[in-house]
Amino acid sequence: MTWAEYYERYDGWQESTQYSRLASIKDFGPDDSPSEEICDCIQYVDTRTATSILRRALAAGVRFRAAEVAEIADSGQIEDEEALEKLIQTAVDAYTGEQLDTLLSCLPDPEPVLELIDKITSKPTHFTEEDVLTLLPNLPDEESIYQLVNSTDAIFTENGLNELCDYGVDESLIRKISKRSGIPYADPDEPDEEIPLKETQAKKPGLFSSI
């Protein structure tokens, strides 16, 4: 049986049959991968069957989109922590901050996700301000925070820069981000510069004041 045949017929079977027929699947399909169908099917079968589907798909080399990885993890359908840890490594496209945040909240042990974030941010990323600010509260130390913020050339708003300051991001990095974002940097340790007021000259009496 192929995966395509299973997917076409599974919703007409009893739960026990949905599970037992998985052993008959010999082919998960062409190179373009049936990840969307697998993600969909996992939502509608029991947890035992869902977990077995994922294990078999991963063993067959199926790769998933980042959104599908997050959806599967968030479904609560997968009982095998090891399978989830393998799943998060299969994404064929880039994760967003929100998707990584979802994985952190869904996996019983966040360490594999933190290792994934470290791997992603060790190279230049396309993270936006929103991505960075979503992930910042989850990172374990200053080094991880610096690596995340330094991995992107994202433009930040003034509020975003204030949040970076609140999380203790290195001052030199904040200066660099401020410059590319077109926002003047005010050093919080320097006193505000006092601007002297211009002396007001007494007005000379005009025509109407002399009448």
List phi, psi (to 5°) of 187. Answer: -70, 120
Closest CA to 161 of 125, 140, 187: 187
Rg, C-alpha atoms of the chain: 28
The tokens for 95 are 């994760």
In the chain, the percentage of residues whose pLDDT exceeds 90 is 83
What's the confidence (pLDDT) of residue 192?
Answer: 52
Give the model's pLDDT for residue 29: 76
In order, the DSSP letters of 119-167 are: HHHTS-----HHHHHHHGGG--SHHHHHHHHHT------HHHHHHHHHT
| SS3 of residue 90 by DSSP | coil
Q: How do residues 114-164 score in pLDDT, each as one tens digit? A: 999 999 999 999 999 999 999 999 999 999 999 999 999 999 999 999 999
Specify burial of residue 206 (Cβ count, 10 A radius: 0-12, 13-18, 19+): exposed
Q: Which residue from 47, 37, 39 is spatially nearest to 15, judged by alpha carbons?
A: 47
Tell me the mean pLDDT in the region 33-54.
Answer: 96
What is the Cα–Cα distance from 206 to 180, expressed in whole angstroms? 51
Q: Rounded CA gap, 118 and 11, in Å?
A: 40
Q: What is the pLDDT of residue 188?
A: 58
CB hemisphere CA count around 206 (13 angstroms)? 3
Interval 188-192 mean pLDDT: 56
**Nearest one of 75, 110, 72 to 91, comparing CA atoms:** 72
Lowest mean pLDDT among 57-66, 71-80, 124-133, 181-190: 181-190
Dist. CA 54–CA 2, nearest whole Å: 15
